[in-house]
Structure 1
């Protein structure tokens, strides 16, 4: 795994040890950023199930201002912190250990609005639609937010969630990427 492009391009990232996470492959990551970017002019990133942090690190490398990465697994948090160290830009990342549903309640009190969000929950724990409705209800997303969801190929997400419209669906074997964009 590596950062593909931008300020941190070429830097190696570690995967989370063990079998509890599924790292996004470099090929899928590159395709995601070819679809949504490839480069950005600022904004905040929210990563609800961050794993190794690779997607958020890539987004910041390509021009997002900063990222908030949430994971409840100790090994993932340790790996994210190590991967953030590789960027030499720690101040652009907020790493939070805990349940994402509880953390977003806390984030709502800060007044931040995220213009990009990544959802790559464990395939067995599919709550993306509910999570997005909660983010909208808490006013945590900008009106033109881009949402990137990585799900099992069998998962069907709706065409519309609140003011977010599904704009792309791409299949990669057993994985499917679904992208939503605000109106």
Structure 2
């Protein structure tokens, strides 16, 4: 795995070994950033279920000011820290070992509002509708914020949810879909 574009283009990223994580492939990462960017002039992101942190690091490489990385697994947190330290971007990041819902609540208490939220939960284990509801109820997005959802092709996500409107959905192979929503 590597950074695709921007300041840290071609820098390798460590991944987590094992079958419990699925690093986002270069092809999927590039497709996501072509829709939401491809480059940014600042902004703050949240990489929920961050794994190795590849999506959030890509956002920083493409101009995001800051990204918060959240994962509940110690190996993921260790890998994210290693990738951040290797790229020397610690001042643009915050990393927390936490449950996604508790992390959203903590971000809300701090008054954080995100331009992008990357959602790549374990397939079939977390409801996107529940995530969307909590995100809106806690007020961590604003008009124009983008939610990027990586999910199983078997998952059916709503076309619209409250003020969320599906911008694009695309299948990558037989198992991975990416759906992008914008807050209207």
TM-score interval for Structure 1 and Structure 2 normalised by the shorter chain: over 0.9
**Displacement, 1:86?**
2.0
**Displacement, 1:126?**
3.0
TM-score, length of structure 1 as denominator length: 0.97
Given the alignment of the two structures, is residue 24 of structure 1 paired with residue 24 of structure 2, yes or no? Answer: yes
List aligned pairs for 1:33-112, cutoff 5 A: 33-112=33-112
Aligned mates of 1:129, 1:40 — CA distance in 2 = 28
Per-residue Cα deviation, 1:43-78 (whole angstroms, up to 9, x for no partner) = 110111100100000011101110011000111111
For structure 2, which runs of at least 5 residues remain unmatched after alignment?
A: none
Secondary structure, counterpart of 2:118 in structure 1: strand
Aligned mates of 2:161, 2:87 — CA distance in 1 = 34
Aligned mates of 1:99, 1:167 — CA distance in 2 = 27
What residue is the counterpart of 1:151 in the other structure? 151
Aligned mates of 1:18, 1:61 — CA distance in 2 = 26
Q: Is the 8 A contact 1:49 1:70 kept in 2?
A: yes
Aligned mates of 2:110, 2:92 — CA distance in 1 = 16
What residue is the counterpart of 1:114 in the other structure? 114
Aligned mates of 2:103, 2:126 — CA distance in 1 = 18
What residue is the counterpart of 1:179 in the other structure? 180
Name segments (4+ residues, structure 1) moved above 3 Å. Answer: none
**How many residue pairs are counted as aligned between the two chains?**
183
Per-residue Cα deviation, 1:86-136 (whole angstroms, up to 9, x for no partner) = 221111010000111111111111111101000000002132221121111
For structure 1, which runs of at least 5 residues remain unmatched after alignment?
A: none
Q: Is the 8 A contact 1:73 1:97 kept in 2?
A: yes
Instruction: Please provide the CA RMSD for this pair.
Output: 0.9
